Amino acid sequence: MKGSIRIRAALCKNCGLCIEACPKGSIRVSKKINEKSYFPAEFVKGGDCTGCGLCAVVCPEAIIEVYRES
């Protein structure tokens, strides 16, 4: 199963929990600063995301949406 996520970068505080929780390494730190002066997490397009949802579960800001394709 293939998946993808959407992270609301403007609200991300770069805690890094989603990056560590992702078993496929499909999330990284962005090189762009958001409005709150953080380097937010970003989805690695073309990665091996399965849509497991672990990133969304651990996100303290609840800003990650998970999508699954069958």
Neighbour-count burial for 6-20, b at 16+ CB within 10 Å, e otherwise: ebebeebbbeebbbe
Per-residue pLDDT of the chain (70 residues; tens, 9 = 90+): 799 999 999 999 999 999 999 999 999 999 999 999 999 999 998 889 999 999 999 999 999 999 998 7
CATH topology of domain 3-68: Alpha-Beta Plaits (3.30.70)
Q: Between β-strands 41-43 and 2-7, what pairing exists: parallel, antiparallel or unpaired?
A: unpaired
Q: Distance (Å, rounded) from C-alpha 47 to C-alpha 27?
A: 9
